Structure 1
Amino acid sequence: MINLLSNLKISVPDKIYLKDPESSKLGKRIIENSILLIDDIGFDSFTFKKLGVKIGSNESSIYRYFESKHKLLLYLTSWYWAWIEYQMVFATFNMPDPKDKLLKAIEVITKSIEEDVTFSHINEIVLNKIIINENSKSYLTKEVDSENKDGYFIIYKRMIQRLRDMIIAINPNYKFASSLASTVVEGALHQHFLKEHFISITDCNDHVTPTDFFKELTINAISK
C-alpha cells in the first residue's frame, strides 16, 4: 500500500503559488520548514525573512514560490483539506450503507491526526495544529470574495459538499445539509482548540472526542 501511494500528489490550485513547491527540493524545504516555524512562533510572527534564516536560503528565493505569507498559508490550508478529502474518499469508497459512510466521513474529518509517511516533507500532525489555530486567517480577509472567485477555496468547499451529499443521501428532506456539513468541519477545529485551551467550555476531553460529539449531533439532527 505504501508503494501504491508513493506516487500520490496532493493538488493545490495553481493560482495560489508562483512556482509549485512540490517541483523542487527547495520548494519542499520551504513547505516543511514553514510548517515547523509557524507552529513554533505563530503565523502573525512568521516572516519569509525568518523562514529564509531557518532553511539557509535568501528571502528572495521564497518569493519565487509565493508572493506573500498569506498565499503560503492558503497553500498549507488547501493542501491539508485536499489531504483530508483524499482520506475521506478512500475510507468511504466501498461502503454501501449511507449511514456507515457518513459516520466514517465524520470520523476522518474530526479525528486527531496521525502522521502520513506518504509525504516525508510534511508533518501532518504539526500541520493539523496550524489548521486548528490559523485556518480562519486564510479566509477572514478583505480579499476573500475575489480569492473565492479565483478558486482558492475550491478544495475546502468541495470537501464540505461531499459531506453534504452524504447527509442528503440519508435524509433528502433535511433542509440544512450544507450548514450542517460546514458546521462539522469548522466545529471540529473549534472543539479541538477548546479541548486544548478552554476545557471549561467543552465536553470534549481525554475520554470524549470531537468525533463522538459530531457523530451524535449529525445523526440526531438528520433523524428528526
Structure 2
Amino acid sequence: MRLLLVEDDDHVAAALSAVLARHGFHVTHARSGEEALQALLPDTRAPFGVVLLDLGLPDQDGFEVCGRIRKRSTTPVIMVTARADVRSRIHGLNLGADDYVVKPYDTGELLARIHAVSRRAVPGEAESDDAAAGPAEPLRLGPMLIELPTRQVSVDGTPVPLTRKEFDLLALLAQRPGVVFRREQIISEVWRTSWEGTGRTLEVHIASLRSKLGLPALIETVRGVGYRLVAPAA
C-alpha cells in the first residue's frame, strides 16, 4: 500500500517511515500542507491507500488541509497529532477524517487503525471478493457466534435479539478483539456523528449488550479512552 505521511518534523517522519516500511508500506513524505495536496494529484502510480496527517504544519493548519483533501479525494485520512482535547477530535472527524490518533501512540495500534480504515475505504472490492468466495465467515468468540451477513448473534446456540445499533457496535468491537476503540471513533463509525451529546447513548448501548449477551466481562471499559472486546473462554 502507498501511504502519504504529512509531517514537518524530519526526525519523527524518518522513524515512522522506517517502521511503516518494515510492515510493507511504500511511504511518501510531505513536509507541508501544500506538498501533501500536490502529492495527492492524480498520476500514473497507484493511489495512496491512507494519509497520515499531522495538524501542526508550517504553511497551514492540518484541519484546513483535511478539508481540502476531502473536496478532491476520498482517500482515508488519519489525523496523528499531539492535540488531545475533545474539541479537536470532534472537529477533525466532522471535517472528514476517518480516525484521530493522539501522540504519543502505540505503533501497533496505529498500524491496526491504518489497516482498518483502508479496509473500509474499498467496500466494492470487499463485496466482489465476498461474492466470489461465498458468504463471510461467522465470528466465533468463545460461546458467542456472530453472523455478519444475516446480522444474527447467538450465545451457546441461543439466539440473542439485538437492535441495529447494538449489532453494529458489537460487530465493530468483535472484528478486532483486544484492540481499544476510542469513544469518539465508535460514535463516528456506528452513529455516523460526532461525540458531542452522544456519549450517554454509547454507554447505554454498552450496558444493554452486556445484559442481553449474559457476558458482563465481554466488553471492557478502558478508563478515559474507550472500550475493547475481551474474547471469552470457550
Higher strand share: 2
Larger RCO of the pair (alpha carbons < 8 Å, separation 6+): 1
More helix by share: 1
